[in-house]
Copies of this chain bind each other. A is one copy, B any other.
Amino acid sequence: MQPLQFDSLSFLRGQERIFLIGGEIHYFRVPPDQWASRLKLLKEAGGNCVCTYVPWLLHEPEEGTFILDEPALDVGRFLKLCAEMGLWAIVRPGPYQYSELLNAGLPGWLLENYPQVNARRIDGSPLVWPNGMFVSVSYLHPDFLRLTRRWYKRILPLLAAHQVDRGGAVVAAQIDNELMGVHEWLGSWDYHPLVTGIGHEDGNWPDFVRRRHGDLAAINAAHDSKARTMAEVLPLAESKTDSLADLRRVMDYRDFYFEQISQYALKLIQWMREEGITVPLVHNCASPYMTGYFRETVERCSGQLLLGADHYYNLDLDWDQNQPSPKYASKCLMSMELLRGYGFPPAVFEMPSGSLSDWPPITPSDAACAYGLNLAMGMKGVNYYVFAGGENPAGTGTTCDVYDYGAPVSPAGDIRPLYAAVAGFNRFLDQHRWLASAEQATDCRIGYSLDQSRHPRKLPVDQQMLMPPGEAWSFMRKGLMLTTLCGHWSPQMVDLADEGFVKDTSRPLMVAGSTVMAAQEQRHLVQYLQAGGKLILSPVVPTLDERYRECRILADFLGGVEQKRCSRGAPLASVGEIGGVLINGALFEFTQRPATAEVIARTQLDPATIGIRVQTPGGGSATLLGFHWRQSRREHERLLSQTLLQSGGRPIIECDNPNLWTFVRSDGRQAMLFILNLFSSPMDASIRFRDPTRPEQWHSTPSCKLSAMEVQAWTPDAGCVWRSSSSLSGQALMI
């Protein structure tokens, strides 16, 4: 078999651009005599890759005793079968597994014999889960690292022997699993004193703070603290962040924690290489909102690690969404655009095909819709989690004895209705392989700041900022992005920290401005304007840099702009021609503005100026809207459309149903229109879209009829070529 490769556009097999199509099959949950038949079912369903955890818990059941070739755990034989079947394999040997295994897949003896590896809260108490579902270790604890190293030393050579360059199936290996999840979900980072050096003169934390700020005096100045020694330089609980100095201290620890994660990742990568793993290494981000937490890891492991993400839409009734709803889709888009921004072909390493809960159900038609929307939004690789269910080895399950998962293939090997959804989607990918080379056709851009995504959502100090970074991030997603999608604009997301965007002035750029913006990002926006770019910035022009120091690079370039919060009154605005615009966020008045600025928005009662347009040197223009919103009304789309049009935006899609979302993807030769109905009701629409290869040519669909929760794909020549709901039984997944 050929190796699996990738660049920023897609996965590759030799010169061929392909979709990675994985199916998770756990050899340890399927009887060995049925491994071959399960793999065959995956192959028949259009998969090209098997993914599996390789649980430490099972392979080292007692300390130092390894079981590697017992028939039920003979992962070597399993990988050999994969190769024989012509299936690639991605192995995930941990140390963490999760996968609803006891201790999240860590051996029980590790926790009993080495309780010191348990992560710690800021007060030094152990970070403990209320039930046995998870275990939180301190990733860099020397004992944990030593034991992980020993595990790697035993398991990796075995896996390496089955690599593709040695005639085997293994084309990639995953380090750990959903990094940070075991801390994040308990609401606390790890503050283990031994590991971090908190309370010590030397160690990772004191070193980090010194590196960032300088000597103790500089640190005290930054933190507004009175530490007499480095041992007294302590982190601060986020709930106690009352001042900008406090915020600096809190963010110092947050950044430090993320850097620790990157060190841990680097160690695992190094060990993998030392033990002979030569294939690409991968990792799965647990949740779309955590993608920004991996910035250090992505930077430090550059060229050595492919980051993907897990995209669940239904774990139980209390999960944020139980269907592939707009809420889910907007998270997926954000997730994949961030992965793309990092330079990766967006891979969904855990795509729900089944669920650990039986109820609310994962239905085949919902699932197919989820697959379709991810594809429409840029997915280049997928791994169905799980493709086949099976029985947990005795005493290792935390949610059930039989890990049925409502998977496409039952523990007994029978196929279920969900199988058709998976196979049908894979067949569609196979029929349109050119989509692997496709990119989204876009007519506007949204600049994002990873700094914003890394800020805690709510802090007491927020009240001291007109627009705190966490709130700006929320506005970027729920305002700018959702309104753009509902208005049938096609946004491309760009990282404001990456200067790549500044020369491209072909499409207007929207930015959610926070009081805080890195000096570098402010400079990039200035360069963009100098190049003639059209900027739409709301709700505030930044006044602080990434260390919360005064910084008005952008405001000064704009000729001096000052804003203040508007006092009470109905939150309605007039923006140009559009009146009665609901501002369900905050309103900011421009108290100072360049004399040449054009006033373009006012509050409706007691009119205050809340929108101006400034022409900048070099032919650029900045439209500053002093308000933010969450998408909820047609006026939001109208105000954004008007602003984009005035900024030279040229829409590539027209659609008469504002509830549908639309995406056009093209490889430069062909194009495909995706229409998404993410609601529980049928929808109709007529749609026109520009041919990305001949922008003056419009294509029209006839009146489309979409059933509830359906994605359709259309091409200019063939019309509707795929419906997510087709070939699916109406029967819900039943066990």
Which positions in A face B, CB cutoff 8 Å? Answer: 102, 130-133, 316-318, 322-323, 325-327, 357-361, 363-366, 395, 397-402, 478, 482, 486, 568-572, 579-580, 582-584, 586, 604-605, 630-635, 656-659, 679-684, 705, 707-709, 729-732, 734-735
Contacts and interface: CB of A to CB of B under 8 A. Distances in A.
A261 to B, nearest CB: 26
Contact of A679 (B363, B402, B734): B363
A605 to B, nearest CB: 6
Copies in the complex: 2
Contact of A659 (B130, B359, B486): B359
Given A400-B572, A570-B132, A679-B323, A317 B631 contact: yes
A180 to B, nearest CB: 22
Nearest to A325: B322
Contacts of A569: 132
B132 A633 contact: no
Contact of A366 (B360, B680, B735): B680
Given A580-B402, A679-B732, A680-B323, A570 B361 contact: no
Contacts of A131: 568, 571, 583-584, 586
A363 B102 CA distance: 44
Contacts of A132: 568-571
Contact of A734 (B366, B635, B657): B657
Given A357-B632, A359-B632, A708-B709, A731 B317 contact: no
B683 A730 contact: yes
B323 A327 contact: no
Contacts of A735: 634
A604 B400 CA distance: 10
A114 B398 CA distance: 60
B681 A401 contact: no
Contacts of A586: 130-131
A657 B359 contact: no
A583 to B, nearest CB: 8
A449 to B, nearest CB: 22
22 contacts: A132-B568, A133-B571, A323-B679, A359-B633, A360-B679, A363-B659, A365-B680, A365-B682, A395-B570, A395-B605, A397-B570, A398-B570, A398-B571, A399-B582, A400-B582, A401-B572, A401-B579, A657-B732, A679-B732, A680-B708, A683-B732, A707-B708
A169 to B, nearest CB: 32
Given A359-B659, A400-B572, A572-B401, A684 B731 contact: yes
A397 B583 CA distance: 12
Contacts of A580: 397, 400-402
Nearest to A395: B605
A478 B316 CA distance: 11
Nearest to A682: B730
A317 B323 contact: no
A633 B315 CA distance: 11
A325 B316 CA distance: 13
Contacts of A732: 657, 659, 679, 681, 683-684
Contacts of A325: 322
A102 B398 contact: no
Contact of A570 (B102, B632, B659): B102
A78 to B, nearest CB: 25
Contacts of A582: 398-400
Given A478-B317, A708-B707, A361 B730 contact: no
A533 to B, nearest CB: 29
A486 B734 CA distance: 13
A572 B403 CA distance: 13
Contacts of A633: 357-359, 399-400
B705 A730 contact: yes
Given A570-B132, A707-B708, A679 B361 contact: yes
A363 B132 CA distance: 43
A632 B358 contact: yes
Contacts of A634: 358-359, 735
Contacts of A684: 729-732
A358 B657 CA distance: 12
A361 B401 CA distance: 42
A364 B535 CA distance: 39
Nearest to A731: B684
Nearest to A579: B401
Nearest to A635: B400
B731 A366 contact: no
B632 A316 contact: yes
Nearest to A581: B400
A679 B325 CA distance: 12
A397 B658 CA distance: 24
Nearest to A631: B359
Central interface residue in A327, A365, A633, A708, by most chain B CB within 10 Å:
A708
Contacts of A656: 734
Given A102-B570, A630-B318, A633-B358, A734 B658 contact: yes
Given A398-B571, A635-B400, A366 B681 contact: yes
Contacts of A681: 363-366, 708-709, 730, 732
A681 B728 CA distance: 10
Contacts of A568: 131-132
A61 to B, nearest CB: 15
A424 to B, nearest CB: 15
A711 to B, nearest CB: 12
A683 B359 CA distance: 14
Nearest to A129: B568
Nearest to A571: B131
A478 B357 CA distance: 14
Given A132-B571, A317-B482, A365-B680, 7 more contacts: A131-B571, A131-B586, A316-B632, A317-B326, A358-B632, A398-B571, A398-B582
A610 to B, nearest CB: 14
A586 B317 CA distance: 18
Nearest to A706: B730
A549 B57 CA distance: 47
Contacts of A482: 317
Contacts of A398: 570-572, 582
A100 to B, nearest CB: 9
A110 to B, nearest CB: 14
Contacts of A316: 584, 630, 632
A586 B133 CA distance: 12
Contacts of A102: 570
